[in-house]
């Protein structure tokens, strides 16, 4: 089993708080198994301990950050620390803080991540647990929409948009949040605000420690900072960084595909509350070497998105299947899965105000599931599958953003190299589309 982790040695970092404007110091210390992430207010006589979980989330204290509180004490703007902890796989951590807010540092999570890495991470005896899903979860509040879909890893799609001439829309798909990707592509993304917000924030006692050194300030036609952006799409990357931290308030790491439109701290936490209601807790076994046995009972296997991409030639923007389930006991059948997010490019024109997935793309998703089934066989490694005809297509009901397509295909006629496949697409157990395909398989060089 994969084990829980903590850090080996004590490390610290100090700096000014973004909103309080006060110097604060955080000390990261090792924690015991099953303790989770715990903040300790060492400046208070009672040294209040506040576990970083959604049950301790507090709304209304800081609109520009995530806040946790207990027994009248609180710590706010914790999202960068939580983000680094989740990305590094740290399950248990004591965080002593001598103020109500951690330092903002350079406005990103990079220094927190580097500091934790310097403390060295070690395994504990207890097994690591994850939140996983059997069905989608949807949350909506104001302009924010966040959905989660079953997945065997932690992945995120995010889109942001503002009524602003310089920063109108950015989006990014992260197919897997792991340590290396996080440090390279997300940790350095800085927090940002619009120049017209600063005066209002400071009147409300916020952003007192903000400066060009720790935040990107956006104007009507660009940014005020002399330092160039670290990424061309730094704004959406920072939103993903924040979202990773807020999601860790679930109390355990997550394995799911998160699709977020215009996320924000309070709504992120609102989503977490809905997520844990439907999620279940699961332990993960470490991969072990398997000795081949020809008498082994046929087993079911699920090909991840990366494995599917190694089998079929389709690529963005036409890849229409996220993963495929195969069963050695039924070699002529397969089930594909497609998370239909609101970020799909075809929804922009099909149709504005009434988004519907084009029927031809549902048929394509079934075809790609079939293609994966055929070409996953070792003897088909250097082959391509072509569909010669499509018959008896019926569209039963529309497929919309947020739907989770289940694509069932079955060979009804033919042999190894040619034949006919029947496909059916379902959403929530209801048939949306069906069709039959004639196929032929040929060598790549023929």
- Please, what's the b/e burial string for 78-106 (b: 16 or more CB within 10 A of its CB; e: otherwise)? bbbbbbbbbbbebbbbbbbbbbbbbbbbb
- Say how far residue 185 (Cα) sits from the centre of its chain: 14
CA distance 344 to 329: 35
- Please, what's the b/e burial string for 244-279 (b: 16 or more CB within 10 A of its CB; e: otherwise)? bbbbbbbbbbbbbbbbbbbbbbbbbbbbbeebbeeb
Q: In what order do the strands lie in the sheet containing 93-97?
A: 11-16, 23-29, 93-97, 37-41, 49-51
- Say how far residue 249 (Cα) sits from the centre of its chain: 14
- Residue 303: strand pairing partners: 324
Angle between helices 79-87 and 110-118 (to 10 degrees): 50
SS3 245: helix
Which of 348, 353, 355, 354 shows the shortest CA–CA distance to 317?
348
Contact 90, 98 (CB under 8 A): no
Active-site residue identified among 80, 238, 265, 305:
265
How many angstroms separate the Cα of 378 from the Cα of each of 139, 371, 372, 373?
42, 14, 12, 11
SS3 content of the chain, % helix, strand, coil (to 5): 20, 35, 40
Q: Which two tokens stand for residue 4?
A: 């829980």
DSSP element (H, E) containing 420: strand 418-427
Polymer length in residues for the chain: 446
| Helix intervals (H) in 12-99 | 79-87
Active site residue 80: no
Give the catalytic positions in this structure.
Answer: 265, 350
């Amino acid at each position: 089993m994969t084990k829980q982790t903590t850090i080996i040695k004590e490390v610290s970092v100090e700096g000014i708080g973004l909103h309080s404007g006060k110097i604060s110091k955080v000390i990261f210390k090792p924690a015991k198994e099953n303790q989770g992430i715990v903040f300790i207010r060492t400046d208070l006589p009672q040294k209040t301990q506040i576990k970083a979980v959604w049950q301790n989330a507090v709304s209304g204290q800081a609109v520009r950050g995530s806040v946790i509180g207990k027994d009248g004490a609180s710590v706010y703007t914790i999202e960068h620390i939580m983000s680094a902890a989740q990305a590094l796989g740290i399950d248990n951590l004591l965080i002593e803080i001598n103020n109500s807010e951690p330092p903002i540092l350079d406005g990103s999570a990079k220094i927190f991540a580097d500091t934790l890495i310097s403390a060295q991470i070690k395994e504990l005896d207890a097994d690591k647990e994850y939140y996983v899903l059997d069905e989608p979860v949807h949350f909506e509040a104001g302009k924010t929409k966040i959905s989660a879909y079953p997945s065997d890893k932690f992945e995120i799609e995010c889109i942001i948009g503002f009524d602003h001439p310089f920063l109108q829309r950015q989006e990014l798909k992260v197919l897997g949040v792991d340590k290396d990707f996080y440090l390279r592509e997300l940790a350095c993304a800085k927090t940002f605000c619009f120049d017209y917000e600063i005066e209002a924030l400071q009147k409300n006692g916020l952003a007192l420690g903000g400066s060009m050194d720790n935040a990107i300030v956006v104007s009507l036609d660009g940014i005020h900072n002399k330092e160039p952006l670290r990424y061309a799409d730094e704004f959406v990357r920072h939103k993903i960084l924040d979202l990773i931290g807020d999601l860790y308030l679930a109390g355990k790491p997550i394995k799911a595909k998160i699709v977020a439109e215009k996320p924000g701290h309070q709504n992120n936490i609102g989503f977490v509350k809905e997520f844990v209601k439907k999620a279940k807790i699961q332990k993960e076994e470490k991969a072990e070497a398997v000795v081949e046995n020809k008498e082994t009972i046929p087993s079911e296997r699920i090909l991840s998105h990366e494995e599917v991409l190694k089998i079929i030639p389709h690529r963005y923007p036409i890849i229409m299947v996220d993963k495929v389930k195969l069963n050695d006991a039924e070699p002529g059948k397969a089930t594909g899965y497609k998370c239909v997010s609101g970020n799909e490019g075809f929804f922009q024109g099909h149709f504005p105000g009434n988004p519907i997935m084009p029927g031809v793309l549902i048929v394509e998703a079934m075809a790609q599931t079939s293609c994966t089934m055929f070409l996953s066989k070792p003897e088909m490694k250097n082959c391509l599958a072509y569909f010669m005809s499509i018959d008896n297509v019926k569209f039963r009901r529309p497929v919309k953003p947020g739907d989770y397509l289940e694509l069932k295909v079955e060979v009804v006629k033919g042999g190894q190299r040619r034949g006919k496949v029947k496909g059916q697409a379902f959403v929530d157990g209801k048939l949306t589309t069906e069709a039959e395909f004639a196929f032929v398989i040929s060598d790549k060089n023929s």
